[in-house]
Amino acid sequence: MLIDMLHQYQTQTKCLVALDSIIFGFDGHELKLLLVKRGIEDEHHTWSLMGGWVQPEESLEQASNRILFELTSLTDIYLEQLHTFGNPMRDPVERTVSVAYFALINVEDYDHKISKNFEAQWFSMQELPQLLFDHSAMVEMAIEHLRYKASQHPIGFELLPEKFTIPQLQKLYEAIFGAELDKRNFSRKLLSTHLLVKLDEKQKGFSKKGAFYYRINEEKYKKQFNTFLNFLPNGIA
């Protein structure tokens, strides 16, 4: 027995499809989340994730890149689909299915380019305000995913400038996991991947000795992306 598909297309109720971005940033000390203010009748001036509607002619990936660009003017951002949220009551205005993407950007890049069309602000993960709808659940899931992902891949790069030092990267990992790591073991494990290229330049102004900058070996990184490593001591996560 076959399903009469064409009939079904016509009788189905359609649904609004939105997209929300969980945007993580790192300022050198703390992990941060980028939020925007939204004005909605009942809930005026609530902070929320940056979001938007999926347009008729664009894919979800395109929509997520567009929406991120509208806010930050950044392209080539690490962006990954996280989960789709579709509870009928999640948006009290009208039923909306929202596809959540999570993004990693470095705060420096962003600050130059912020769009004035939005009232946006970085929040420490420790001090998040009340969020719109089910956005808190999205953030929760995103941080969990970030932890998992960072524990398996050296994904932390994406949150740092192109040139970064190993101590910076370590601080980032410590911020993500809320735990202290041993610098000797961390740098050994990291360098053993051969994904980092040491530069001649040293970081100035922060420490007296100065730490060497590294950059990522893009090619090798892409090739090895699906290689599972283990960036964490066993006790954590």
Partner DNA sequence: GCAAAAGTGTTCTCCTTACACCCATGA
Partner DNA sequence: TCATGGGTGTAAGGAGAACACTTTTGC
Q: Does 45 bind DNA (CB under 7 A)?
A: no
Least separation in angstroms between CB 2 and a copy of itself: 3
Q: Which is nearer to a copy of itself, 101 or 213 (CB)?
A: 101
Residues 62, 69 contacting (CB under 8 angstroms): no
DSSP state letters, 149-215 = HHHHS-GGGGGS-SSEEHHHHHHHHHHHHTS---HHHHHHHHHHTT-EEEEEEE--SSSSS-PEEEE
The token pair that represents 149 in the structure block: 């992902």
| Interface pick for DNA out of 73, 113, 210, 223 (rule CB under 7 A) | 210
Position 147 contacts DNA (CB under 7 A): no
- Residue 14 makes contact with DNA by CB under 7 A: no
Confirm or reject binding of residue 234 to DNA (CB under 7 A): yes
Interface with a copy of itself in residues 60-119 (CB under 8 A):
60, 63, 81, 83-88, 93-95, 97, 99, 116-119
The residues near 8 (Cβ < 8 Å, ≥ 6 apart) are: none
Minimum gap (Å) between residue 54 Cβ and a copy of itself: 7
How far, in Å, are 89, 95, 156, 160, 228 from residue 171 at the CA level?
40, 41, 10, 11, 21
The one-letter amino acid at 189? K
**Whole-number minimum distance, CB 228 to DNA, in Å?**
10
Is residue 208 a contact point for DNA (CB under 7 A)?
yes
For residues 137, 142, 147, 149, the Cα torsion angle rounded to the nearest 10 degrees is: 140
**Min CB(27)–DNA separation in Å:** 16
**Assigned token pair, 198:** 């040491």
CB 84 within 8 A of CB 121: no
Based on the shown chain and the rule CB under 8 A, indicate whether residue 8 belongs to the binding site for a copy of itself. Answer: yes
Of residues 102 and 231, the one with the C-beta less far from DNA:
231
Stretch binding DNA (CB under 7 A), from 2-10, 52-60, 144-152, 176-184: 176-184
Q: CB 14 → a copy of itself: shortest distance, Å? A: 4
Nearest residue (CB) to a copy of itself, 40 versus 125: 40
- Applying CB under 7 A, among 184, 219, 226, 228 the residue interacting with DNA is 184
**H-helix or E-strand spanning residue 46:** strand 46-48
Provide the phi-psi class of 5: left if phi over 0, else alpha when psi is between -120 and 50, else beta: alpha
Contact residues: a copy of itself, CB under 8 A: 1-6, 8-9, 12-17, 36-41, 45, 53-60, 63, 81, 83-88, 93-95, 97, 99, 116-119, 228, 237
